[in-house]
């Protein structure tokens, strides 16, 4: 598997911390056009984890897919990056598909699975979603993706068979107890509009 070397240009970017079962994670909003950490997380996914995230086996993403993933704006498309020990470890995101409805997705590199990172990312992105008047969440998963099914059930989103996949579309509630400092999440998400300015691209 080809790996993408990651060097963060954003060491001074504000972040929040979340405890894990072993250590802690740093979480912050992804910037518009910020590609490198997303590639690094993708590189950390096994074939099975890539299938769980993209609903089919995939060795590489197309340029159009990368553009869509980096097209965040902090309102209609919100994505948060989690790093552990300075390395990209996971991403959670939602994309608004209606006035009060959003599609949610998250991915955690295999090395960091089973430590509570997915739960921290989920709590973070649904906290932001609720603050932005999202009331319903949609999600799609493979039948074999037990982790996602368990996580989503904890916020009231039940996945049911549909066309060979599992799909959910329902009202949701916040995790109880919280896994992140929600006031800190909202301060970082809502009080830093500059965080969504496009990143300069290399020539």
Closest CA to 119 of 146, 85, 145, 155: 155
Q: Percent of the chain having pLDDT more than 90?
A: 86
- Predicted pLDDT at 192: 53
- Please answer whether residues 111 and 142 qualify as being in contact, where contact means their C-beta atoms are separated by less than 8 angstroms: no
User: Which domains, ranges and CATH numbers included, belong to the chain?
Assistant: 16-190 (3.40.630.30)
**139-163 tens-digit pLDDT:** 999 999 999 999 999 999 999 999 9
Q: Sign of the C-alpha dihedral, residues 112, 127, 34, 54?
A: positive
Bond before 177 cis per omega within 30 degrees: yes
**85-137 tens-digit pLDDT:** 999 999 999 999 999 999 999 999 999 999 999 999 999 999 999 999 999 99
9-36 mean pLDDT: 90
């Amino acid at each position: 598997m080809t790996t993408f070397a990651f060097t963060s240009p954003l060491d001074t970017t504000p972040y929040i911390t979340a405890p894990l079962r072993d250590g802690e994670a740093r979480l912050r909003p992804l910037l518009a056009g910020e590609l490198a950490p997303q590639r690094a997380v993708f590189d950390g996914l096994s074939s099975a984890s890539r299938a769980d995230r993209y609903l089919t086996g995939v060795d590489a993403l197309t340029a159009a897919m990368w553009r869509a993933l980096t097209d965040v704006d902090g309102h209609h498309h919100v994505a948060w990056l989690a790093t552990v020990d300075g390395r990209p470890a996971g991403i959670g995101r939602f994309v608004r598909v209606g006035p009060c409805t959003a599609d949610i997705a998250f991915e955690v590199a295999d090395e960091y699975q089973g430590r509570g990172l997915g739960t921290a990312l989920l709590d973070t992105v649904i906290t932001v979603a609720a603050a932005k008047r999202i009331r319903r969440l949609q999600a799609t998963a493979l039948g074999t993706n037990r982790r996602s099914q368990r996580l989503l059930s904890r916020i009231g989103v039940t996945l049911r068979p549909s066309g060979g996949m599992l799909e959910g579309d329902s009202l949701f509630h916040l995790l109880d107890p919280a896994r992140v400092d929600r006031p800190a999440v909202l301060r970082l998400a809502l009080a830093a509009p500059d965080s969504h300015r496009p990143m300069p691209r290399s020539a």
